[in-house]
Amino acid sequence: MNIEDECRTEITNRLNRAQGQIRGILNMIEEGRDCSDVLVQVAAVSKAIDSAGIRIVTEGMRQCAAAEAVGDEPPMDQERLEKLFLSLS
């Protein structure tokens, strides 16, 4: 899959933000911060990563549909789509 520049930028921004959050979580743990504060940040980074994954899957589906419309490649079957979505859960 070749991700278009705009989508690639969106995905890399989300993942860079998540990377920063992970560094922050590590610092919080090293500093002995309250468990609930750490877990709030873990939930936030998890959501950011999930969001990036969903964006990758939807971009792949969009490209697949566009390719199918012009006859470049076969359509993605239901089993493959389900595996992609389940890989995010």
Q: What pLDDT score does 84 carry? A: 73
**Residue 16 confidence class, pLDDT cut points 50, 70, 90:** very high
Q: Which residues contact 52 (CB under 8 A, 6 or more apart)?
A: 11, 14, 15, 18
Instruction: Pull the structure tokens for residue 16.
Output: 């860079």
Q: What is the pLDDT of residues 34-74, one digit of tens each?
A: 999 999 999 999 999 988 988 888 887 777 666 655 666 66
- Are 80 and 50 contacting, i.e. CB atoms less than 8 angstroms apart? no
**Domain of 59: which CATH number?**
1.20.58.1000
Domain count, the chain: 1
Q: What is the pLDDT averaged over residues 22-38?
A: 97
Whole-number Å distance between alpha carbons of 75 and 81:
10
CA dist 45 and 26 (Å) reads 12
Pairwise pLDDT comparison (41 vs 75), residue with the higher score: 41
Q: Which domain holds residue 56?
A: 5-86
Give the C-alpha distances (Å, rounded to integers) separating 63 from 8, 14, 48, 53, 78: 13, 21, 23, 15, 16
Residue 27's pLDDT is what?
97
Q: What pLDDT does 72 receive?
A: 61
